[in-house]
Amino acid sequence: MSLQVRLNIPRKDFAINVSLTVTSGQITSVFGPSGCGKTSVMRAIAGLENSATGHIQMADEVWQNSDYFRPPHQRDIGYVFQDASLFPHLNVYENLQFGRRRQAKDKRRVSLEQAIELLALSPLLNRSVDKLSGGEKQRVAIARAVATSPSVLLFDEPLAAVDIQHKQEILRYIQSLHQELDIPMLYVSHAIEEVARLSDNLVLMEKGQQLASGKTVDLLSQLNLPFARYEEAASVIDTEVTGHEDDYGLSLLRFAEGHIRVTRGQLPLGHKVRLRIVARDVSLTLTKPQDSSILNIFPAVVESMVSDGTALKLVRLNAGGQIILSRVTAKSAEKLALKPGLHLYAQVKAVSPLI
Partner 1 sequence: MMHPDLTALLITLKLAAITTLILLLIGTPLAWWLARSQWRFKFLIETVIALPLVLPPTVLGFYLLIMLGPNGPIGGLSEAMGGRPLAFSFTGLVIGSVFYSLPFVVQPLQNVFTAIGDNVMEQAATLRASPLDRFFNVMVPIARPGFLTAAVLGFAHTIGEFGVVLMIGGNIPGETKVVSIAIYDHVESLEYAQAHILSGGLLLLSFLMLMAVYGLNRRFSVLRS
- Asked if residue 148 binds partner 1 (CB under 8 A), the reply is yes
What distance in Å separates the CA atoms of residue 97 and residue 120, rounded to the nearest whole number? 16
- Indicate the residue among 73 and 335 with the shorter CB distance to partner 1: 73
Name the burial class of residue 153, with classes exposed (0-12), middle (13-18) and buried (19+) by CB atoms within 10 angstroms of its CB. Answer: buried
Which residues have C-beta within 8 Å of that of residue 60, sequence separation ≥ 6? none
Q: Is 44 in the site for partner 1 (CB under 8 A)?
A: no
Provide the 10 A C-beta neighbour count for residue 117. 13
Between 128 and 224, CB nearer to partner 1:
128
Alpha-carbon distance values, 224 to 201, 229, 307, 354 (Å): 18, 9, 11, 25
- Picking from 261, 266, 264, 269, the residue whose alpha carbon sits closest to that of residue 243 is 269
Q: Does 48 bind partner 1 (CB under 8 A)?
A: yes
**Min separation Cβ 29 and partner 1, Å:** 20
* Interaction mask 80-119, partner 1, x per CB under 8 A: -x-x-x-xxx--------xx--xx----------------
Q: How many angstroms separate the Cα of 237 from the Cα of each of 124, 201, 220?
A: 37, 13, 10
Q: Rule CB under 8 A: is residue 184 a binding residue for partner 1?
A: no
Q: Which residue in 22, 47, 42, 44 sits closest to 32, CA to CA? A: 42
Closest approach of partner 1 to the CB of residue 145, in Å: 8
The residue (of 148 and 322) whose beta carbon lies closer to partner 1 is: 148
Helices 134-146 and 92-102, interaxial angle, to 10°?
20
Bin 55: left if φ > 0, else alpha if -120 < ψ < 50, else beta. beta
Q: Of the candidates 52, 145, 234, 275, which one interacts with partner 1 according to CB under 8 A?
A: 145
Tell me whether residue 148 or residue 216 sits nearer to partner 1 (CB atom).
Answer: 148
Task: Determine the Cα–Cα distance for residues 187 and 202; give it in Å rounded to an integer.
Answer: 9
Within 10 A of 330 (CB to CB), how many other CB atoms are there? 15
At its nearest, how many Å lie between partner 1 and the CB of residue 216?
26
Contact residue for partner 1 among 37, 47, 135, 208 (CB under 8 A): 47
- Nearest approach in angstroms of CB 54 to partner 1 is 19
**Residue 321 makes contact with partner 1 by CB under 8 A:** no
* Residue number, 12 or 89, with CB nearest to partner 1: 89
| Interaction of residue 77 with partner 1, rule CB under 8 A | yes
Report whether 305 contacts 259 (CB < 8 A). Answer: no
255 binds partner 1 (CB under 8 A): no
According to the binding rule CB under 8 A, does residue 68 interact with partner 1?
no
Contacts of partner 1 in 219-248 (CB under 8 A): none
The one-letter amino acid at 65: N
Would you say 98 or 230 has its CB closer to partner 1?
98
Binding site for partner 1 (CB under 8 A): 46-48, 71-75, 77-79, 81, 83, 85, 87-89, 98-99, 102-103, 130, 144-145, 148
